[in-house]
A and B are shown apart, each in its own frame.
Chain A
Amino acid sequence: MKTSMKYLGLFVIAVLSVVVSFGVVSAQTDVTICFGFQDLETEFWVAGHRAITETLRGQGIEVLEYNANEDPNRQLEQIRECIAQGVDGIIIIPQDGDSANTIVAEAQENDVPIAVFNRPPNDRSAGVIVVADNVSATEQAVEFIAQKALRQFEITGEAVTPLILVGALQDTNAIGRRDGFFNVITRYNERYPGLFNEPIEVATEWDAATALANLEAAITANPNVDFIFTSSDFLFPTIRSVLEPRGMWVPMGQPGHVLLAGLDGDATACQLIDQGYVDATGVQNLFLEAELTMNRLLQAIEAGETAPNEVLLDPGFALTAGNIFFQRSDMWGCVLYDDGFLDQ
């Protein structure tokens, strides 16, 4: 027993020492920015995280990173901890638009300037909010598909059945993308009656497993779907796993091709446009957004502004099979893809 007690004591001390000494941060600069993100569950957020941290550290700024693991309560605790540590500014990628309001208010009440990256609070009047114009980017991508559908309709006279994979609707990005999709469908149906059938909506909750189950059910019930729009490119592999066994995963130019479009502009979308399976994707200009976030926050810190309030819009653009040759380098996903991101 004595021996086991000794080992136990040594073990406890060793665990404590290892835990606290692992990863000690030593860098010290004049400006410290707290970067709290909800998680890095998709390529888009990984790339966004990389763009922000590299941009900040490139300027010699100390970055304190906090991952909330998709828990808004945890994120609130982490931001409070950042405030307690006396950071100069805060950048967050919130879990949802509602909790973002509370977190922005918490920072501003404590006189710390805060910027919200890409996932805006429902109330956009507080904080520096950098956001892609989801409606515009989606409209650009869906417009490209609508033109293709129109040509098909003029030849065959058969209405096109569209399907949209909807994101979690507590996220304003998901709402904007759904709105952009329906704007185009409605507009084209008004101009060309009978072009599109009633769109099928499939809930994903931004979760691949949920998307898979719901898409399987929707395609089984409606095997004549001609056009699928995914509210985020990270679901293309899910779409493929549903379409391929049914013989519907066919590249453009061949009979049976299902028109495919998405939004985000990730590496997988770039690869699939290259291969001819995906027709278009709405691209968020991630590099521009990271730069806008950092510049506005640093400007506020320098000017002593504790509660800067401004919405900075990234208009986005559509990368299509038609323009990929010219605009490839503007899409963050193609940059990652060309760097071998998908081979890692």
Chain B
Amino acid sequence: MVPVSYYLILSGILFACGVTGFLIKRNIITIFMSIELMLNGVNLSFVAFAAEWKALSGQVFVFFVMVVAAAEAAVGLAIIIAVYRTRETLNVDQVNLLKL
């Protein structure tokens, strides 16, 4: 038997790690991976709450979150490729102009 709060704490730790990666990383791809980490943390809390209240809707929401995350990953990586093509860099500190 595992208390629900343990699952929630694990999901909170994952979310906090994602936020930290978003803040301290300077490589645009790693920043994007930190966003995926945050989404994963939230998904874990969805499933934990679904198990606590015996409600299957939580799992359906996780499914939707995953679909949106996959779409977001495809578009985001395409944007990263476009940025790299014009700037020749992946460092976010050097990507500071909207128009080149």
Indicate, yes or no, whether A interacts with B: no
